[in-house]
């Protein structure tokens, strides 16, 4: 199952990429929401192979996941791959400079089931695909506006 969205941001590509690659913000956000997040290794500089382990409660059950930065090309691309139970996930962020002060962010999120319970979970998501797609696009748009606001405050 795949979700995709594109948003334009009124900011230079380097600034947008810098915001997207500030992984400490995501770590703190997940911790505030009740997740237990641990970065594997001591690396403060983003690089391919960087990984995180997290545990959180979802649908009343404790879940564990591991996420790895699979591709990292400054300032155009980041790809994260994750595994949680029987699900494999992939999050691809691609940036394109439309002008010196305008950047398009493309976000693709894919979920692949590897076990029967995971297949049942994904099948139930397919029944709500239109609603989930709307929510996904709304979240991407909100995050793009947030990036735009943070960059404009820094200028």
Determine the pLDDT at residue 151: 93
Q: What class, spelled out in words, does domain 2-154 have in CATH? A: alpha beta
pLDDT beyond 80 at 47: yes
DSSP 42: S
Give the pLDDT band of residue 43 (cuts 50, 70, 90): confident
Name residues whose C-beta falls within 8 Å of residue 42's C-beta, 6 or more positions apart in sequence: none
Name residues whose C-beta falls within 8 Å of residue 28's C-beta, 6 or more positions apart in sequence: none
Determine the pLDDT at residue 41: 79
Instruction: Give the residue-averaged pLDDT of 46-60.
Output: 91
Beta bridge partners of 69: 80
pLDDT beyond 80 at 42: no
Pairing label, strands 87-99, 36-40:
unpaired
- Cα–Cα distances (Å) from 36 to 63, 65, 67, 75, 98, in that order, read 10, 10, 13, 29, 38
Determine the pLDDT at residue 60: 86
Determine the pLDDT at residue 35: 93
pLDDT tens track for 58-109: 888 899 999 999 999 999 999 999 999 899 999 999 999 999 999 999 999 9
pLDDT beyond 80 at 44: no
CB 19 within 8 A of CB 7: no
CB 130 within 8 A of CB 24: no
CB 19 within 8 A of CB 146: no
Token reading at 116: 């029967």
- Cα–Cα distances (Å) from 44 to 23, 47, 68, in that order, read 9, 9, 14
Determine the pLDDT at residue 69: 96
pLDDT tens track for 107-136: 999 999 999 999 999 999 999 999 999 999
């Amino acid at each position: 199952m795949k979700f995709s969205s594109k948003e334009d941001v009124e900011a230079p590509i380097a600034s947008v990429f810098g915001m997207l690659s500030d992984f400490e913000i995501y770590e703190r956000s997940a911790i505030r929401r009740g997740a237990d997040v641990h970065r594997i290794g001591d690396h403060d500089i983003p690089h391919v192979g960087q990984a995180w382990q997290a545990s959180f409660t979802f649908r009343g059950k404790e879940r564990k996941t591991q996420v790895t930065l699979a591709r990292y090309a400054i300032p155009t691309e980041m790809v994260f791959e994750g595994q949680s139970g029987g699900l494999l996930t992939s999050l691809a962020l691609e940036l394109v400079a439309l002008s010196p002060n305008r950047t398009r962010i493309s976000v693709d999120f894919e979920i692949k089931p590897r076990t029967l319970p995971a297949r049942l979970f994904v099948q139930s998501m397919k029944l709500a695909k239109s609603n989930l797609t709307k929510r996904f696009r709304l979240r991407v748009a909100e995050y793009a506006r947030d990036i735009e606001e943070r960059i404009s405050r820094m200028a």
